[in-house]
Structure formats: structure tokens, C-alpha cells
Structure 1
């Protein structure tokens, strides 16, 4: 089950970066930058959580195999 959660977190992080590039950003006539900035930290957090979870699962599997 945790592999599915980790893969979902990682894919959601990647999807945030893809959405950021697809949405794009622009400067309005009054000089205000319009961009979906929230996708950047959310993408990093989701990707980091997915990578950490995967590394944690690999470490637990390694320790369980080693103890037998």
C-alpha cells in the first residue's frame, strides 16, 4: 500500500510542475506578474514526500530482509 501512496505523491508533484508550465505566466499591462506560484512549493513538497517515503520503504525492506 505504501508504494501506491509514494508513487501517487511523486506523480502529483510532477503533475504540479507540468501544470505550471502548461498554465504559464504573463505580465499584465499594469506590470503585475500573473503566475500560478503556489504550484512550485506544492510540487516540491509532494515530490520530496514521495521520494522520502520511497527511501523509507526501501530501508525498511532492507532491514527486514537482513534480520531474517
Structure 2
């Protein structure tokens, strides 16, 4: 006798896998300057996000 819970779990996991595989999550995340800086490590143009010191902010060498 087949348990219905196994089928439901398998379908749910398949749907989640397909969403992760085919959804454009990375481009959507790059719209946020904070996330883009954390992922790429590149300057976002905002010293608050980069966490630069006051001296680097004053000399405009942040990032």
C-alpha cells in the first residue's frame, strides 16, 4: 500500500527544485546595493554599506 505522504513530499520537493533552478533569483537580488556588495565584494557606491571608516569617507577612498 502506497503512502500518500511520500507522493506529496516528492511533488513538493520537485516543485521547489524547479523554482530554484529556473527562477531568476540572482538578478533580482542584485537590485539591492547591500546584497550586491555582499555577493560580489565590489563597491556599491555607498560608504554606509561598505562599512568604511570616517577617514576613508572624508578622503573619498571608500571602496
> Given the two structures, how large is their TM-score scaled by the length of structure 1?
0.35
Instruction: Name the structure, 1 or 2, with higher relative contact order (CA <8 Å, separation 6+).
Output: 1
Which one has a bigger Cα radius of gyration? 2
> Given the two structures, how large is their TM-score scaled by the length of structure 2?
0.37
Q: Which of the pair is proportionally richer in helix?
A: 1
